[in-house]
């Protein structure tokens, strides 16, 4: 029987701090397929996440089909805005949420992975993080600093991860990120340069697939996911409207779940997808294929 088999593989999922987002769902799907999973967590969210785990608050979400709890082999502090510790300003390094966690930069993560597991510890790297400090502002009102921060954390961070973790990979390794259709179509409200960041992320996926494919033999893909009420998305403010609108106007009117994205990610990160790289793969109930909504006066459709 053809199945997704990730036994003996190690994954790093960057951007997990609770059980509500795509990163957690991908981590769980990878573990269900047999992979060992490490995560990278943003220092300001690290203590809250550790508390959730220790107090059993997310045990229901961690429950695996065999009854055991999803385990994380390591939880690394990671602020993907910084390639090296020296790049972080003093006010960050001295901040109470950062000062005791060690080297939280991308280079620090690479170094810790090497120390913990040897020279080639990785088969899978997932980039499931984004931040746009001015996401609620229209692009027209976005400051240069806000725009560059969005692109730095949400897009350049993938370049940095591939550059620094590529050398740590084993043969057949694969990278995956998460993008959103606002990169290519206008989604009012997805502002602050986040739409620009996602456009960069998708373009970089193609270029990195070529460059890192030739250099390290790795694959690089991105999933364009439909809207989900994660913690990050709730910060946008109109996520429920986005979910309802997308559901009403998609080819499939079933609810899109984080697990849908988790399972598609497990496939793309598995040897079954050995020939897939440089791709934007839509996991959105087909919404991206629509050219006109089905709701509203004078339209044709009707939800099934």
* Residues with a known catalytic role: 180, 190
When CB distances to ligand NAD are compared, the closest residue is 21
Among the listed ranges 55-63, 162-170, 177-185, 214-222, the one in contact with ligand NAD (CB under 6 A) is 177-185
d(CA 142, CA 93): 27
| Apex 159 CA angle, 156 and 116, nearest 5 | 115
Q: Per rule CB under 6 A, is residue 37 in the interface with ligand NAD?
A: no
Residue 127: φ, ψ to 5°: -105, 105
Q: Per rule CB under 6 A, is residue 264 in the interface with ligand NAD?
A: no
Task: Output the smallest distance, CB 171 to ligand NAD, in A.
Answer: 27
Which residues sit opposite 75 in a β-bridge? 39
Among the listed ranges 1-9, 223-231, 249-257, 286-294, the one in contact with ligand NAD (CB under 6 A) is 223-231
Q: Which is nearer to ligand NAD, 118 or 142 (CB)?
A: 142
The count of chain residues that interact with ligand NAD, using the rule CB under 6 A, is: 28
Strands 75-77 and 219-225 come out as unpaired
Among the listed ranges 77-85, 112-120, 139-147, 267-275, the one in contact with ligand NAD (CB under 6 A) is 77-85
Tokens of 129: 């993080």
Which residues sit opposite 252 in a β-bridge? none
For 206, the 3-state DSSP assignment is: helix
Q: What share of the chain is helix, strand, coil (3-state, %, to 5)?
A: 45, 15, 40
Site mask for ligand NAD (CB under 6 A), range 117-146, x = bound? -----------xxxx---------------
d(CA 22, CA 90): 32
53's enclosing H/E stretch is helix 43-54
Task: Output the smallest distance, CB 17 to ligand NAD, in A.
Answer: 4
Exactly one of 183, 221, 230, 249 binds ligand NAD (CB under 6 A); that residue is 230
Residues that bind ligand NAD (CB under 6 A): 15-17, 20-23, 42, 45, 78-81, 128-131, 153, 178-180, 225, 227-228, 230-233
């Amino acid at each position: 029987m053809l199945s997704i088999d990730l036994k003996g593989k190690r994954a790093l999922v960057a951007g997990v701090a609770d059980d509500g987002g795509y990163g957690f769902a991908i981590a769980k799907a990878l573990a269900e397929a047999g992979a060992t999973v490490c995560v990278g967590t943003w220092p300001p969210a690290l203590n809250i996440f550790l508390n959730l785990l220790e107090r059993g608050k997310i045990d229901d979400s961690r429950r695996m089909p065999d009854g055991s709890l999803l385990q994380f082999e390591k939880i690394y502090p990671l602020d993907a805005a910084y390639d090296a510790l020296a790049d972080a300003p003093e006010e960050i390094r001295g901040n109470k949420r950062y000062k005791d966690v060690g080297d939280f930069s991308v280079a620090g993560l690479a170094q810790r992975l090497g120390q913990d597991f040897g020279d080639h510890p990785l088969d899978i790297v997932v980039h499931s993080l984004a931040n746009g400090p001015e996401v609620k502002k229209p692009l027209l009102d976005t400051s240069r600093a806000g725009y560059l921060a969005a692109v730095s954390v949400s897009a350049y961070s993938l370049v940095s991860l591939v550059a620094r973790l590529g050398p740590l990979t084993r043969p057949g390794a694969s990278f995956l990120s998460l993008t959103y259709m606002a990169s290519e179509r206008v989604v009012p409200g997805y502002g602050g340069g986040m739409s620009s960041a996602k456009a960069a992320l998708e373009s970089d996926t193609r270029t990195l697939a070529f460059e890192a494919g030739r250099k390290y033999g790795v694959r690089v893909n991105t999933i364009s996911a439909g809207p989900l009420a994660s913690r990050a998305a709730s910060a946008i403010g109109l996520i429920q409207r986005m979910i309802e609108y997308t559901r009403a106007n998609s080819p499939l009117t079933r609810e899109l779940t984080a697990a849908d994205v988790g399972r598609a990610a497990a496939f793309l990160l598995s040897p079954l997808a050995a020939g897939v790289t440089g791709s934007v793969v839509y996991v959105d109930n087909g919404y991206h294929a629509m050219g006109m909504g089905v709701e509203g006066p004078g339209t044709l459709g009707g939800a099934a």
